[in-house]
């Protein structure tokens, strides 16, 4: 009865032990791999076969599509209830977090299928699950399919076989509710000044006017149920995804076609164990909200409170921010006061521009910006050092600079060495070279204290880090 008691408390007068109880269910149900991006088509089929063997009769592969390159796309059916729910994940091949959570959820239902909490879901709902809609993209760890089409922008033309399969299944099943499961750019904040977004939610509109209908009210209530379920686990880290209407997008089209759709976008939660923490959070969100649909408890939530969920804030979070450094330039300008923001690209970028290399993303007054790591550089001189042969290791870097007698040096000589590199030694958005960090030491000389190499801080400088705030296992 653990899940039932936890869920009842989550959706009523929330207590932190209830959400931690839901969180605690996951390790015993986990069948997903440690690295979400390591799960490819063959691995998915293997896990599905293992689940079928472990839990005979729990689910069937009711339909199979074919990707552009001929990989089979299974659609799983389980439950016998009157309310039909369609969940599809990884229509973008590099967005796998919810795929893993769905596999863990299936295993949990199999482990507990004779118990009241699982029976409530299986007897009140019929679930249709497509764990990996874009296996060709997953194989390449890329957003688009093998045709280089964004499946999520193919709901009108249906040029992709994957899009046709999803549309045909929806038309045949006519589900009441859809879950559109994605990963978003992890470098987003939950509201102005908020922390990094772990989960973003959207009640997907069905028309250009963004009309409120019974369907969108339903998904607003469902979004609030998810927020309550994960809010104590991820304090302040739940946001609202940017709302617009795009007729060619699948989520918008699903709502327009009569399947009210909730978008769940997994963001980031930087720190050790980030990938597992996000899979676990998805497991809580999916299992808990399906239970809320099964018992109808989500309908008691006030849909108007959905507007109070803070919006995603873009272009305000970076991997590293250096505050108030004096920055020199190869253009022979005197050093000047700036903040520097760096981004180290991860395995996915959501709908944002994909960066291939760690780089500087902004220079100037960045008081509005946040860094997963931040360094107060008020007494530091920063120098771009774009030599291609520069080593990416702190010890090797010191050895290379020692050979040029640049470990402890007078400022005029250091600036002269920088100017000799010319205009290429200029920090601007997109700069991918090293940034050396010097502090005034003995006898007025500048001593090398650290550097930023490939977007990461090395050396003797101690940044501050955003707290993880993960609940205990």
* DSSP assignment string, 277-305: HHHHHHHHHHHHHHHHHHH-GGGGS-GGG
Total number of domains in the chain:
2
**244 assigned to some structural domain:** yes
Same structural domain, 108 and 196: yes
Same structural domain, 147 and 272: yes
**Which of 295, 313, 331 represents a domain boundary (last residue)?**
313
Please report the pLDDT score of residue 5 as a whole number: 46
Q: What is the pTM of this model?
A: 0.91
**306 assigned to some structural domain:** yes
**183 assigned to some structural domain:** yes
User: How many helices (H) and strands (E) in the chain?
Assistant: 12, 20
d(CA 447, CA 460): 11
Q: Per mean pLDDT, which range of 3-7, 212-216, 348-352 is the poorest?
A: 3-7
Residues in CB range of 286: below 8 A, 6 or more apart? 87, 98, 101, 102, 105, 179, 264
Please report the pLDDT score of residue 18 as a whole number: 56
**406 assigned to some structural domain:** yes
Please report the pLDDT score of residue 313 as a whole number: 94
Torsion of CA 160, 161, 166, 169, to 10 degrees: 150
Please report the pLDDT score of residue 356 as a whole number: 74
Please report the pLDDT score of residue 444 as a whole number: 86
Same structural domain, 233 and 324: no
Query: What range defines the domain where residue 428 resides?
Result: 317-465
**140 assigned to some structural domain:** yes
d(CA 408, CA 445): 6
Same structural domain, 287 and 227: yes
Same structural domain, 215 and 344: no
The answer to whether the CB of 417 falls within 8 A of the CB of 404 is yes
Residue 92 has pLDDT above 50, yes or no: yes
Please report the pLDDT score of residue 471 as a whole number: 63
**Which of 282, 313, 344 represents a domain boundary (last residue)?**
313
d(CA 26, CA 240): 25
Burial group, residue 198, by CB count within 10 angstroms (0-12, 13-18, 19+)? buried
**290 assigned to some structural domain:** yes
Same structural domain, 324 and 267: no
Same structural domain, 288 and 326: no
**Which of 265, 290, 313 represents a domain boundary (last residue)?**
313
Is the model more confident about 389 or about 192?
Answer: 192
For residues 385-408, give the mean pLDDT.
86
Same structural domain, 114 and 223: yes
What is the residue-averaged pLDDT of the chain? 92
Please report the pLDDT score of residue 352 as a whole number: 65
**473 assigned to some structural domain:** no
For residues 35-43, give the mean pLDDT.
97
> pLDDT-derived band of residue 9, with 50, 70 and 90 as boundaries?
very low
Same structural domain, 296 and 404: no
Residue 7 has pLDDT above 60, yes or no: no
Q: Per mean pLDDT, which range of 334-343, 353-362, 378-387 is the poorest?
A: 353-362
CATH classification of the domain holding 47: 3.40.630.10
Same structural domain, 157 and 280: yes
Same structural domain, 161 and 131: yes
d(CA 457, CA 439): 15
Q: By C-alpha distance, which of 293, 301, 280 is closest to 19?
A: 280
For residues 333-353, give the mean pLDDT.
85
**192 assigned to some structural domain:** yes
SS3 162: helix
d(CA 395, CA 318): 26
Same structural domain, 102 and 196: yes
Q: Per mean pLDDT, which range of 82-86, 169-173, 189-193, 441-445 is the poorest?
A: 441-445
């Amino acid at each position: 009865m653990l899940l039932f008691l936890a869920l009842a408390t989550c959706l009523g007068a929330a207590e932190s032990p209830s959400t931690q109880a839901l969180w605690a269910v996951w390790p015993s149900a986990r069948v997903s791999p440690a690295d979400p991006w390591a799960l490819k088509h063959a691995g998915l089929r293997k896990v599905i076969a293992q689940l079928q063997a472990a839990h005979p009769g729990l689910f069937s592969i009711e339909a199979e599509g074919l990707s552009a390159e001929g990989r089979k796309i299974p659609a799983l059916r389980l439950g016998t209830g009157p309310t039909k729910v369609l969940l599809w994940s990884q229509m973008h091949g590099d967005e796998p977090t919810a795929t893993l959570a769905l596999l863990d959820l299936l295993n949990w239902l199999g482990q507990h299928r004779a118990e009241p909490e699982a029976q409530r879901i299986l007897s009140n709902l019929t679930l249709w699950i497509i764990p990996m809609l874009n296996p060709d993209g997953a194989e390449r760890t890329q957003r688009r399919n093998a045709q280089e089409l964004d499946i999520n922008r193919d709901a009108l033309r249906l040029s992709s076989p994957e899009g046709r399969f999803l549309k045909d299944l929806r038309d045949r099943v006519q589900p009441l509710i859809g879950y559109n499961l994605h990963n978003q750019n992890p470098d987003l904040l939950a509201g102005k000044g908020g922390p990094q977004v772990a989960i973003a939610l959207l009640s997907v509109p069905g028309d250009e006017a963004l009309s409120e209908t019974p369907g969108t009210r339903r998904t607003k209530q469902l979004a609030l149920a998810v927020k309550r379920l994960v809010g104590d686990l991820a304090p302040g880290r739940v946001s609202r995804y940017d709302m617009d209407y795009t007729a060619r997008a699948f989520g918008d089209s699903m709502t327009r076609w009569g399947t009210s759709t909730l978008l769940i976008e997994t963001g980031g939660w930087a720190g050790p164990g980030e990938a597992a923490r996000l899979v676990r959070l998805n497991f809580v969100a999916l299992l808990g909200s399906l239970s809320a649909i099964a018992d109808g408890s989500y309908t008691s939530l006030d849909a108007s409170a959905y507007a109070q969920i803070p919006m995603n804030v873009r272009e305000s979070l970076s991997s590293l921010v250096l505050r108030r450094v004096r920055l020199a330039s190869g253009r022979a300008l005197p050093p000047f006061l700036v903040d520097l923001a760096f981004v180290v690209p991860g395995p996915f970028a959501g709908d944002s521009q994909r960066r291939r290399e760690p780089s500087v993303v902004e220079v100037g007054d960045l008081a509005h910006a946040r860094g997963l790591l931040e360094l107060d550089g008020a007494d530091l001189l920063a120098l771009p050092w774009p030599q291609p042969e520069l080593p990416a290791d702190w010890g090797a870097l010191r050895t290379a600079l020692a050979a040029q007698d640049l470990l402890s040096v007078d400022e005029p000589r250091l600036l002269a060495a920088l100017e000799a590199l010319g205009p290429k030694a200029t920090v601007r958005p997109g700069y991918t070279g090293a940034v050396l960090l010097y502090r005034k030491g003995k006898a007025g000389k500048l001593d090398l204290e650290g550097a930023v190499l490939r977007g990461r801080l090395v050396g003797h400088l101690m940044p501050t880090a955003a707290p993880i705030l993960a609940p205990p296992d």
